Amino acid sequence: MLVLASMVVFAGVRAIPGNPAIALGAENRDPAVIAAVKAKYLLDKPLPVQYGHWIWLALHGDLGVDQRDLAVGHTIAQRLPISLELTLLSMIVAVVVGIPAGVIAAVRRGKPSDYAATGVALVGLSVPHFWLGLIVIIWFAVDLHWLPAGGYTTIHHPLANLQHLILPAVVIGAGLAAVLMRQMRSSMLDSLGSDYVRTARAKGLSEWSVVCKHAFRNSLITVTTVLGLQLGALISGIVTIEVVFGIPGFGSLTIDSIMQRDYTLIQGVVLVVAAGYVIVNLLVDVVYSLLNPRIRAI
């Protein structure tokens, strides 16, 4: 599957208009220079040869060099941890907010707190990430001067690092929390209406134990799957939010590479995204089977 994905990336990148050899030769339009550039980047060879060359090196961990002669693998290794940290923080925000909100809404179904949580989640689904980003910049950075408006500090300065990442993480986490909340609410309602919950109640277990031990654990199964499926949305959120907040992460690298028509960089970036997607889906399957004994038994 990754092989197919890599071919799609390769073909897609070649379809971007504009001649990279001319772009690389800068002002120099001398045919000899352009030919030399083409030869250097194998642009004069047929596409299958270019693809074969690229994939062969990629399998050996070498993603080639970009237009500025920097190793793509190295650039990605530099940028990726920043985005992973942001992803982790966003997920923490989403889980901490979304899951309890979903449980409360389900338990208090039809009461004001349910309507409030459901309503907020619905709005949360409809807000464009980058717009929310702009608004929180206006509030917390421009008006209140509490937090920096953007940029990034390395993890070696933990406090400054967190100050830079907390706003973006909350913005991305808010959207994800809305999805989690809705999913949690509906699967909790399913669980609470099921036979085993009635049995648990009938044998006199406390409401706390019914909700937390029986219904909650079963609802987590569906929510885990949904969390995995949300990865695409999460990546989109990270890409736009990194651009809005000027965070030099993997997302802004993706946009930069596309804007600059940097073939090797785009290929490397998208390949990493596709690989990450496959790995996360695998992890979701593993977690799923850990949470759901019925699947483990098979």
Q: Give the footprint of another protein on this chain (CB under 8 A).
A: 1, 4-5, 8, 12, 15-17, 122-123, 125-131, 134-135, 137-138, 142, 186, 189, 231-233, 235-236, 239-240, 243, 254-255, 258-259, 261, 266, 270, 273-274, 277-278
Degrees (nearest 5) of the Cα angle 286, 229, 89?
85
Residue 125 C-beta: closest distance to another protein, Å:
6
End-to-end CA distance of the chain: 25
If the CB atoms of residues 205 and 276 are measured against another protein, the closer one turns out to be: 276
Q: Quickly list DSSP for 168-211.
A: HHHHHHHHHHHHHHHHHHHHHHHHHTSHHHHHHHHTT--HHHII
Residue 149 C-beta: closest distance to another protein, Å:
8
Residue 274 C-beta: closest distance to another protein, Å:
5
Residue 70 C-beta: closest distance to another protein, Å:
21
Return the residue matching tokens 């000899």: 32
Distance CA 232, CA 7 (A): 20
If the CB atoms of residues 158 and 193 are measured against another protein, the closer one turns out to be: 193
Residue 127 C-beta: closest distance to another protein, Å:
5
Q: Characterise 66 by phi-psi region: left (phi > 0), alpha (psi -120 to 50), beta (else).
A: beta
Task: DSSP letter for 51, please.
Answer: H
Residue 250 C-beta: closest distance to another protein, Å:
11
If the CB atoms of residues 12 and 158 are measured against another protein, the closer one turns out to be: 12
If the CB atoms of residues 33 and 233 are measured against another protein, the closer one turns out to be: 233
Helix (H), strand (E) at residue 38: helix 31-40
If the CB atoms of residues 12 and 151 are measured against another protein, the closer one turns out to be: 12
Distance CA 175, CA 93 (A): 10
Task: DSSP letter for 149, please.
Answer: S
Q: What share of the chain is helix, strand, coil (3-state, %, to 5)?
A: 80, 0, 20
If the CB atoms of residues 155 and 279 are measured against another protein, the closer one turns out to be: 279
If the CB atoms of residues 70 and 125 are measured against another protein, the closer one turns out to be: 125
Residue 256 C-beta: closest distance to another protein, Å:
11
Q: For the stretch 140-160, what's the b/e string if a residue is b when 16 or more beta carbons lie within 10 angstroms of its beta carbon?
A: bbeeeeebbbbebeeeeeeee
Task: DSSP letter for 261, please.
Answer: T
Nearest alpha carbon to residue 263 among 16, 3, 80, 8: 16
Residue 159 C-beta: closest distance to another protein, Å:
25
If the CB atoms of residues 116 and 189 are measured against another protein, the closer one turns out to be: 189
